[in-house]
Chains A and B, each alone.
Chain A
Amino acid sequence: MKRLVLTVLSLMLATQVLAASKELYVYNWSEYMPDSVLADFTKETGVKVIMSTYDSNEALYAKIRMVEAKGYDLIVPSTDFVARMHKEGLLMPLDKGKLTNLSNLDPKLMNQAFDPDNTYSVPYMWGSTAIAVNTKDPAAAAITSYADLWKPELKGKLLLPNDMRGVLGMGLKRLGYSLNETDPVKVAEACELLLPLMESVRVFDSDSPKQALLNNEVQAAVLWNGEAYIASGENPDIRYVYPAEGFSLWVDNLCIPKNAANVDNAHLFIDYLLRPEVAAFICQEMGYSSPNLAAQALLPEDVRDNAIVYPAPEDMALGEFETDLGPAVKAYEECWMRLKTR
């Protein structure tokens, strides 16, 4: 009897150990990686990928802090949160020796202030937050700037991201300030400006805002370019507008949490994602811009020249990258609570 118990126990342990070396826990933005990429990776390497998703950097950060950087092997924070998480010792340095495809990446997006030398992060995709409009609706078709969103004709037809930086950035840009404004007076000014806009909002959604647009629930939506790319593919009346006041650009980065269990598999997967053909496929499927230069060469022309995926230089000049706000984030959070609980 005893021997049987022991055998069963050791078998369970053995499968645990085996399972541990053949698994990878990815915590990623929702709708950010095609399922087939995971399946192909598993087919090639035998490593099973378990993916869960989040809809904001804040949620990712709170979760990683809560589990003390354990339990997940790969996360995809935006630049500002890479800086914050690395400052707080939540990230593990990457072993560049295992990332043979690193040279494919655009040097312009590497070695930035938020992570010098890319010690902790490599860019996964980048993109913009701007306005998608349904041109069938005359009020929406006339939108060229953030200021246009305040027009009474758009009341109840508007979708905003369920994202603090995304919404406050609109107010700051309309006032001509930086997206990364740290002066609490200016943030409060933006907040006052945004309060009446909340009346026009039909829905806040950062998970799958294209749905509300495609279902005709809203006529204008502030969203990420990948969502606009997919929506415009399904409904040609949907256009993506870079607002005249300027808009937000962001880069999401692959990072390994400090106490990850499957570090080798995480490196293996990062390197897989950096392959030109894989990166090009993800870019085409998701509609976000790839930092992978070798992948860009593989893209079909209609994707490479698509202004939603790769903005024209004159539009690009209006974009501003989000950075870590430091303690100034407090003023943003207070405003966000005010806007949401109005």
Chain B
Amino acid sequence: MKNDGFFKLAVIVGVISWMAIFAFVPNILVFLASFSSTSTQNFIEPGFSLSNYARLMDTTHLSILLSSLRLSGLVTVICLVTAYPFAAILARTRKPLRNTLLLLVVIPFWTNSLVRTYAMTAMINSSGIVNNVLLSLGIIDTPLAMMYTPGAVVLGLVYTLLPFMILPLYAALERLDRRYLEAARDLGASPWRAFWKVVVPLTMPGIVSGCMLVFLPGIGMFYVSDVLGGAKAMLLGNFIRDQFLTTRDWPLGAAASVTLTVLMGVMLLLYWKSAARLGGKEA
């Protein structure tokens, strides 16, 4: 018993100090940096001003933010639409096969995602596999220009982030109590209606966490835009990286990063508020 308590304490202290050192403190530093200014001697001059946020509000910076949100939104929708049926089938598959399928979802993580992004170029460049197949089948005469386009960035992001959508959806769908569906059928709901009124609300936590896990990295994965988009399509992640590495305007980069965090926080809050209200009504 005594040992049990010690183990518990050790785990809790371990987790809390891990989070404090690697998540909380760095975020506080970024937050503080976003109010500072920069000089030639130091990347960060301590102080307090809102000028970095004011600079973010100019039209070029806003247009980067908006186009990045749009791109990542599109990626999230594509991931959701493709992952949902997959996760539903997965949740209904019998044990040995299901484990194999789950393993197949996870296997890509064994390879570094940057390497997988480079592998993607071998698929879609002018002399790549896709073009060669299409050319030899006579479907096209000249190679399609797929590399270095916004579409290539979307493809790369969907490819990299899809498992992050599948896994939470699978967890939610697997827990779904089938008796609710039977009750819906008994009460005369069509399958379509049962899906929208029963399955979707019950799996909403999985949908939301999947969307969060795809949307936020989708804004930040600058190397996908560098490798597949030709370093032209600016994600907010590219902008932040450039502020830190190229122009060394750390306060502006920090302000952009804080803005993103706040944006995500607000979206989560809205979701919780609306979920609580809906839940309250039903009860």
A300 to B247, CA, bound (A): 42
Contacting pair A56 B127 (CB below 8 A)? no
Assuming the contacts A215-B126, A338-B60, A341-B64, asked whether A205 and B246 have C-beta atoms less than 8 A apart, the reply is: no
Q: Which residues of B contact A216 (CB under 8 A)?
A: 126-127, 143
Mask: chain B, 123-149; 1 = CB below 8 Å from A; 0 = not: 001111000000000000001010110
* Residues 44-65 (chain B) with a chain A CB within 8 angstroms: 60-61, 63-64
Chain A 302-342, CB-CB to B under 8 Å as 1, else 0, gives 00000000000000000000000001000001001110111
Bound-state CA distance A156–B125 (Å) is 15
Minimal Cβ-Cβ distance residue in A for B149: A202
Residue numbers in B under 8 Å from A61 (CB-CB) = 248
SS of B interface (majority): loop
With a 10 A CB-CB cut-off, give which of B43, B126, B234 has the most chain A CB atoms: B126
Q: B231–A205 contact, CB under 8 A? A: yes
The stretch of B76-84, B173-181, B237-245 in contact with A is: B237-245
A15-33 near B? 1/0 per residue, CB < 8 Å: 0000000000000000000
Least Cβ–Cβ distance between B276 and chain A, in angstroms = 40
**If the complex has contacts A341-B60, A341-B239, are A59 and B127 also in contact, measured as CB distance less than 8 A?**
no
Q: Which residues of B contact A5 (CB under 8 A)?
A: none
CB pair B246–A336 under 8 Å, yes or no, is: yes
Would you call A58 and B231 a contact (CB within 8 A)? Answer: no
Contacts of A203 in B (CB 8 A): 147-148, 230-232
User: With A58-B245, A59-B245, A340-B242 as given contacts, are A204 and B230 in contact (CB-CB < 8 Å)?
Assistant: yes
A341 to B252, CA, bound (A): 15
The count of chain A contact residues (Cβ–Cβ below 8 Å) is 28
Contact assessment for B231 and A337 in the assembled complex, using a CB-CB cutoff below 8 Å: no
A190 to B245, CA, bound (A): 23
Q: Is A217 an interface residue (CB 8 A)?
A: yes
Contact (Cβ within 8 A) B246 A204: no
Please indicate the chain B residues that have their CB under 8 angstroms from the CB of A67 in the complex: none
Contacts of A333 in B (CB 8 A): 246-247
Question: Please, which residue of chain A has its CB at the minimum distance from the CB of B246?
Answer: A58
CA distance A59 to B246 in the complex (A): 6
CB distance A217 to B147 under 8 Å?
yes
Cβ contact within 8 Å between A201 and B143: no
Q: From B43, which residue of chain A is reached at the shortest CB distance?
A: A65
Please list the residues of chain A having a beta carbon within 8 angstroms of any beta carbon in chain B.
56, 58-59, 61-63, 65-66, 156, 162, 164, 201-205, 212, 215-217, 327, 333, 336-338, 340-342
- What are 14 residue pairs bridging A and B, where the CB atoms are less than 8 Å apart in the complex? A58-B245, A61-B248, A62-B244, A156-B145, A203-B148, A203-B232, A205-B230, A212-B147, A215-B125, A215-B127, A216-B126, A340-B231, A340-B232, A341-B63
